[in-house]
Structure 1
Amino acid sequence: MSWRIYLRLGRVSNLPTVWSNTLAGVALAQAAEAEWPSASVVVLMVAFSLLYIGGMFLNDAFDRHIDARERADRPIPSGQIGAREVFTIGFGLLGAGVLAVAVHAFAAGAGLLPVVSAAALAGVIVLYDAWHKGNPIGPILMGVCRVLVYVTAALSVTLRRETPVLGGAALLLSYLIGLTYLAKHEGAYLAGKMPRFTLRRFWPLALLFIPFFALLPRSFGSAPALLLDAAFLAWIVFTLVDLRRGAPGAIPRTVVRLIAGISLLDAVLVGPSFAAALAVGAFALTLWLQRFVSGT
């Protein structure tokens, strides 16, 4: 089996956004106590990468019949790989990801909470993959997947509960609901059933802006923080302007750009720091990798 098919199934170009989510969850939990680079953070990045890729494999496996109608070039409907193999790899990667979190939690003395959170993440991934088409809460489920990366990463490195993780997770959830709402229409767009963008149809995209306005007051008095906020806002506006023009491929292109923007949001949430700089680097790396492997 060609490794290119596995890369495509796993949407590996988006992995840097998973790494920046991990950085943000750790940084928000530990604040100034975080040490970079950290072997602990690297282990967690690997664990969440396994969970993400496993989820992407299962997404194609569960969507194979729909893809046969709307995206016949996907690996399963095009006959490049069998559904059974994709299911096996997907569930295997989910199990490996949870196991990696468990090993880390045992070694770090973090207790069972990180393992429970990782298992919950795996469960929500499967639920989303199996039941996101036509599901009105599908965007929320997708957002919860990324939120649980924050929560699991935080629980893995600190036993404290008075951290800004939940606040950051709520803002991340808002952004991801808007993003996933748009992504839900990509199949219809590619099938030629929805050729034009309308604000009436896409009003949930307003949720993309909530993190900017919620965090802006915190940034006053800090030029680096304002610069991060401005970069995040500019990226959203840039992507939506292109969508509004209705150019060919607008929705798929906007989706992958907004996926990359997850790392920019991570940087804004963390605030000016080395972790934020790494998150900005993850944003740039995602855009570069998407040139070679589709992010959707």
Structure 2
Amino acid sequence: MTTVSRARVYLRLGRVSNLPTVWTNVLCGMALSGSDLRAPAVALVGLAVSLMYVGGMFLNDAFDRDIDARERPERPIPSGLVSAGEVFAVGYGLLGAGVVIVGVDGHLSGRGLSPALASALLAGAIVLYDAWHKGNPLSPALMGLCRVLVYVTAAVSAGGQLGAAVLGGGMALLFYLIGLTAIAKQENLLSVRSLSAFGFMAVPFLYAIGAPLAGLVGTIAYGALAGCVVHAVRLLRGTRKDRIPRAVVTLIAGISLLDAVLIARSGAAGAGAAAALAMLGFPLTLAMQRVVKGT
């Protein structure tokens, strides 16, 4: 396999098109913690968590290789493009690298072990989800927990407080992701399970109303998030064979819009500008998904 071909396989395994949502998670976690939104800090933690996300996606394919061989034989491992051993090695290596970066930065910044512990918890949650998500009724919550721990890791890495804003924002994100997963699995949108999924998706909207948004930017972000969810539901109600994956990638991109809403209501210094920046994660994710599949 040529270097270019291997790079393409790695990009596909890592679902790198979804990385903008990871970057906005980091930005949001720092804003909710009340820390200063300094570009170097956002970039460093964003890099570390990006490595962990990509590593987790590698491990996801490695753990799912037997199921993919039956249901998705075109995936890199069952199609023979790469070995499971290599994917496991790269996945764990990237996870470890992310933890080390966060831990070393926390030590050098005088923040003690909190950043290292938070990133280690994130790494553990990622591995647990990857190894135990098939047939696990709690897998949507476990996946959401991974994203919540990104908020926590970003917050403590920036020296912020794990207060009510981080907890509330984390719960809003958790319910969004539970609803995302549940809705995507439904074939009948009028079923009881599907209606409960809509209830989960409603939580972030109700939570965001509980505090003023940062002017026009916050209002636009709120409306954009609502439009994203409505569009995904319309896709699911359609008859196209690819309606479920299209809805899923749309809702994944919508994570950046939720981050923007939460930043806008945080009251942090520069919240309006940070929320506007987070909103850009939505079109960027959708654009990147046209090149590299997000699922």
- TM above 0.5, one fold? yes
Tell me how far 1:163 sits from its aligned partner: 5.2
Q: 1:244 is aligned with what amino acid? A: R
Tell me, in whole angstroms, the C-alpha distance in 1 between the residues paired with 2:91 and 2:206: 38
Aligned residue for 2:30? 26
Q: 2:37 is aligned with what amino acid? A: E
Tell me, in whole angstroms, the C-alpha distance in 1 between the residues paired with 2:140 and 2:88: 23
1:293 and 2:285 correspond = no
Q: 1:43 to 1:223 in 2, by over 3 A?
A: closer
Report Cα offsets for 1:207-260 as digits up to 9, x if no partner: 122111221242379443222211111110111111112322000000011000
Aligned residue for 2:117? 116
CA contact (8 A) 1:209 1:233 kept: no
Q: Which residue of the other structure, out of 225, 236, 257, is the alignment partner of 2:229? A: 236
Query: For residues 91-106 of structure 1, what are the structure 2 equivalents within 5 Å?
Result: 91-106=92-107
Tell me, in whole angstroms, the C-alpha distance in 1 between the residues paired with 2:182 and 2:73: 22
Identity of aligned residues (%): 53
Please give the secondary structure, in 2, of the residue aligned with 1:205. helix
Q: Which runs of 4+ in 1 moved over 3 A?
A: 159-163, 219-224
Tell me how far 1:69 sits from its aligned partner: 1.1
Q: Which residue of the other structure, out of 186, 200, 211, is the alignment partner of 2:204? A: 211
Aligned residue for 1:153? 154
Please give the secondary structure, in 2, of the residue aligned with 1:202. helix
1:277 and 2:270 correspond = no
1:11 and 2:15 correspond = yes
Which has the higher mean CA deviation after the structures are superposed, 204-213 or 44-53?
A: 204-213
Tell me how far 1:199 sits from its aligned partner: 2.8
Report Cα offsets for 1:187-211 as digits up to 9, x if no partner: xxxxxxx8x4433153343112211
Tell me, in whole angstroms, the C-alpha distance in 1 between the residues paired with 2:249 and 2:221: 20
CA contact (8 A) 1:110 1:159 kept: no
Q: 1:220 to 1:21 in 2, by over 3 A?
A: closer
Report Cα offsets for 1:141-186 as digits up to 9, x if no partner: 1000000000010011125344511110010000011123345x4x
Which has the higher mean CA deviation after the structures are superposed, 223-232 or 40-49?
A: 223-232
Aligned residue for 2:252? 259
Report Cα offsets for 1:58-116 as digits up to 9, x if no partner: 00000011111111110001111110000000011110010011011012111111111
Report Cα offsets for 1:252-282 as digits up to 9, x if no partner: 0000110000000000000052211111111
Q: 1:237 is aligned with what amino acid? A: V
Gap runs ≥5 in structure 1? 186-193
1:35 and 2:26 correspond = no
Tell me, in whole angstroms, the C-alpha distance in 2 between the residues paired with 1:181 and 1:116: 30
How many corresponding residue pairs? 283
Q: 1:15 to 1:204 in 2, by over 3 A?
A: farther
TM-score w.r.t. the length of structure 2 is 0.91
Please give the secondary structure, in 2, of the residue aligned with 1:74. coil
Tell me, in whole angstroms, the C-alpha distance in 1 between the residues paired with 2:13 and 2:201: 27
